[in-house]
Copies of this chain bind each other. A is one copy, B any other.
């Protein structure tokens, strides 16, 4: 008897499409980030600040993933960069095929950096590749330092963790250094930046990391 695992099959089909996306991104010399977090950790605000800081240095595009609504894409569109909204219609994550559908709406030849803002969710997005070079996570300090132990896959899959909203630390019963310790305990190689997307504190390190990874932009 042949048994087909539906879940494995779905993941393998997705991996195949993600690989095709990745090939296309590579042909365009594009650095692609899959940006993940809980709802409300600050993904869109991070993108706004990042675009403000770097859009004169490199071509930036954004794919916004949400269950429904286009509020985030509208915020990003204010920044005068290429942006596409994907509404997953209930699905808890983006996948390779949804990203493929967004290609028609983007001129990849003008981009150096493409950020895919995933659905706010600490579980499902970690399992579905979209064709990214790296996965990056944001964790708000208000979520608590127990999150890496409770949602380890996403922290293990991510190359960079931004610990956000550090301006709120004085008002919480929590120590900032505990977040770094907790993240390193599930992923010893993860790069951690402590930031506030509200005040701008700590963001310079993140911008420098991005500059080093995007390499020589086509714009320059």
Contact = CB atoms under 8 A, between A and B. Distances in A.
A149 interface: yes
B67 A150 contact: yes
A140 interface: yes
Contacts of A143: 38-40
Q: Pick the most buried of A39, A123, A124, A151: most chain B CB atoms within 10 A of its CB.
A: A39
Given A38-B39, A92-B92, A120-B38, A67 B171 contact: no
Interface string A54-89: 000000000000111101000000000000000000
Contacts of A124: 92, 123-124
The 6 closest A-B pairs by CB, nearest first: A40-B143, A92-B123, A142-B142, A40-B144, A38-B39, A38-B38
B40 A142 contact: yes
A173 interface: yes
A122 interface: yes
Given A67-B152, A142-B168, 10 more contacts: A6-B6, A39-B150, A40-B140, A40-B142, A69-B146, A71-B150, A92-B121, A119-B123, A123-B124, A168-B171
Q: Pick the most buried of A71, A122, A167: most chain B CB atoms within 10 A of its CB.
A: A122
Interface of A: 6, 38-40, 66-69, 71, 90, 92, 119-124, 127, 140, 142-144, 146-147, 149-153, 165, 167-168, 171-173, 198
Contact of A142 (B69, B71, B152, B165): B165
A150 B92 contact: no
A69 B185 CA distance: 14
Contacts of A171: 167-168, 171
A123 B120 CA distance: 9
B6 A151 contact: no
Contacts of A172: 168
Given A142-B165, A165-B142, A168-B142, A66 B150 contact: yes
A90 to B, nearest CB: 7
A66 to B, nearest CB: 6
